[in-house]
Amino acid sequence: MRSVGVEEELLLVDAHSGEPLALAGAVLAAADRSLGHRPPGDEQRRHAFEKELQKEQVEFATKPVTEMGELQEEITRYRTEARRHAASAGALVVALGTSPLPARPSLNAGKRYAWLAEQFGLTAQEQLTCGCHVHVSVESDEEGVAVLDRIRPWLPVLTAMSANSPYWQGTDSKYASYRSRVWNRLPSAGPMDVFGSADRYHEQVDAMLGTGVLHDRAMIYFDARLSATYPTVEVRVADVCLESSTPVLLAALVRALAETASRAWHNGEPPSRVDTNLLRLAAWRAGRSGLDGPLLHPKTMRETSPAEAVQALYAHARQALVESGDDGRVRRGIAGLLERGNGARIQRELLREHGSLAAVVTHCERITGGSLA
């Protein structure tokens, strides 16, 4: 069975005001100190937390697993650890795609980040966004590219399901995932064309790097890409999700999409040739609507309801979900998500109920940690 892993970026905020705090260094130092409490020789002495572009966020990555229950345990554990390390630094940690309150982000130190700041100016400076990346194992680059070519139309649905960033600089953006719009300001971000082969993929990446616009391979920000580090396909379209069960749902769907795509490739079935311009419109529509407005149907590229788009995704991947044992979990997850809404809907409901964005952040911090349903 294919292994999966998840990376989550989390926002550091003030416990009272809810405003972002530039305390990533202190949080990572607390994580470093925590290693001293483990027995010498512990194979997991290296903690899972890393810095990101901005000092107001931290990232963790789970280990690769094959069971979704184990992935749920990993995400819950690392969120709990992140909360503890943040508390020791005088902050809260919250799973929000953007800061609801006004923010003035500060880039982390380092040559690479300095290059980004110089190259991309205000686009880099404003890039305080938190995403969720799902890795799924593949046997080769050739299989990986076959997967990339065949999952393209389905990725906007994952954006809609995960949407958790309606607010930007203290204002309702009118988007469910404004993170996706901010992220797509970067020149290599967004949907990709059909590559057709691993050679063509690597030729395209090399050509992009040869322009000098990008610093390195890590800046190939396709919606889904071959990982530069692991033997995986990395799907990068999701907001970080408010509830810890949602990234597990996404991971199960991504694995099933990858397995479905690989089987189609082995059977000689060509990928859909849907135009990349249409995929950009589908991605915009998903970021705008989330689960509270029309989406573009992955097969027809015509408007449909969120429920229809999500059910189309489920139907497409169902056989792989059944065979992996994930079908029941995914059906329950989809039903719950369609009923209660994604993070964007929850944030807006919290603002209507409590009247303040600071209260939204406080309640979302509790949901992040699992202490508030």
CATH number of the domain bearing residue 252: 3.30.590.20
Confidence of residue 35 (pLDDT cuts 50, 70, 90): confident
Residue 45, pLDDT score: 46
Overall number of domains in the chain: 1
What is the pLDDT, as a whole number, of residue 290? 98
Q: What does the pLDDT look like over 185-197, one tens digit per residue?
A: 999 999 999 999 9
φ/ψ of residue 269, rounded to 5:
-85, 125
Whole domain around residue 332: which residue ranges? Answer: 110-368
The residues facing 10 across adjacent strands are 58
Residue 303 counted as domain residue? yes
pLDDT at 77 over 70: yes
Domain assignment present for 301: yes
- Strand segments (E) across 184-297: 224-226, 232-239, 295-296
In this predicted model, what pLDDT tens digit does every residue of 115-124 receive, in sequence order?
999 999 999 9
Whether 287 contacts 177, CB under 8 Å? yes
**Residue 264, in any domain of the structure:** yes
- Tell me whether residue 10 is in a domain: no
**In a domain? residue 134:** yes
Mean per-residue pLDDT for 59-73?
97
pLDDT digits (tens, 9 = 90+) for 264-300: 999 999 999 999 999 999 999 999 999 999 999 999 9
Amino acid 304: pLDDT:
98
Confidence of residue 260 (pLDDT cuts 50, 70, 90): very high
**What pLDDT does residue 43 have?**
45
Mean pLDDT of the chain: 95
Domain membership flag for residue 92: no
d(CA 106, CA 208): 28
Q: Report the pLDDT value the prediction gives residue 46, as an integer from 0 to 100.
A: 66
Could you please report the per-residue DSSP string of 101-147?
A: S-----BPPSHHHHHHHHHHHHHHHT----EEEEEEE-SSHHHHHHH
- Judged against a pLDDT cut of 80, whether residue 36 lies above it is answered with no
Q: Are residues 280 and 193 in contact, defined by beta-carbon separation less than 8 angstroms?
A: no
pLDDT number for residue 34:
85
Asked if residue 128 belongs to a domain, the reply is yes
316 in any annotated domain: yes
Q: Which helix (H) or strand (E) holds 58?
A: strand 57-61
Does pLDDT of 40 surpass 60?
A: no
